[in-house]
Amino acid sequence: MKKIVFIINPISGIGQKKKVEKAIGRWDARNEFDIEIFYTQRAGHAPELSEKALKNGADIIVAVGGDGSINEVSQPLIGTDVVLGIIPAGSGNGLATFLKISKNVKKALEIIHKGNVKRIDTVMINETPFVSIAGVGFDALVAKRFSEFPFRGFWSYLHIVLKEYIQYKPKKYRLIIDGINYSRRALFVSMANSNQFGYNTTIAPDASIYDGLIDICIVRKVAWYKAFMLGPYLLQNRIDKSKYVEIIQGKEIYILRKRNKVVNIDGEAVKLKKNLKVNIVPQSLNLLVP
| Per-residue model confidence (pLDDT) at position 151 | 73
* Start-end of H helices in 14-153: 17-25, 45-55, 67-74, 94-99, 105-114, 138-148
> Looking at 29-38, 59-68, 196-205, 223-232, which range is the least confident one?
223-232
User: 117-125 and 83-88 as β-strands: parallel, antiparallel, unpaired?
Assistant: unpaired
Alpha-carbon distance of 82 to 32, in angstroms, equals 18
Alpha-carbon distance of 119 to 16, in angstroms, equals 28
Count CA within 13 A, CB hemisphere, residue 14. Answer: 11
| Per-residue model confidence (pLDDT) at position 16 | 60
DSSP class of residue 42? Answer: S
Q: What's the chain's average pLDDT?
A: 89
| Per-residue model confidence (pLDDT) at position 202 | 82
Return phi, psi of residue 224, to 5°: -55, -35
Q: Which residues of 55-83 are buried (b: 16+ CB within 10 A; e: fewer)?
A: eeebebbbbbbbbbbbbbbbbbbbeeebb
| Per-residue model confidence (pLDDT) at position 243 | 82
Question: Taking a C-beta distance cutoff of 8 angstroms, is the pair 89, 101 a contact?
Answer: no
The predicted-structure confidence for 18-31, as pLDDT tens digits, reads as follows 788 889 989 989 89
Give residue 235's Cα distance to chain centre. 17
pTM value is: 0.89
pLDDT at 157 over 60: yes
Number of helices (H), then strands (E), in the chain = 8, 18
pLDDT band at 114 (very low <50, low <70, confident <90, very high): very high
- Collapsing DSSP to helix, strand or coil, 143 comes out as helix
What mean pLDDT is predicted for residues 2-14?
A: 84
Alpha-carbon distance of 2 to 117, in angstroms, equals 14
What mean pLDDT is predicted for residues 143-156?
A: 75
Alpha-carbon distance of 1 to 34, in angstroms, equals 6
Contacts of 139 (CB under 8 A, 6+ apart): 188, 190, 197, 264
pLDDT band at 200 (very low <50, low <70, confident <90, very high): confident
What mean pLDDT is predicted for residues 219-248?
A: 75
pLDDT at 244 over 90: no
Alpha-carbon distance of 163 to 194, in angstroms, equals 27
Q: How many other C-beta atoms are found inside a 10 Å radius of the C-beta of residue 212?
A: 13
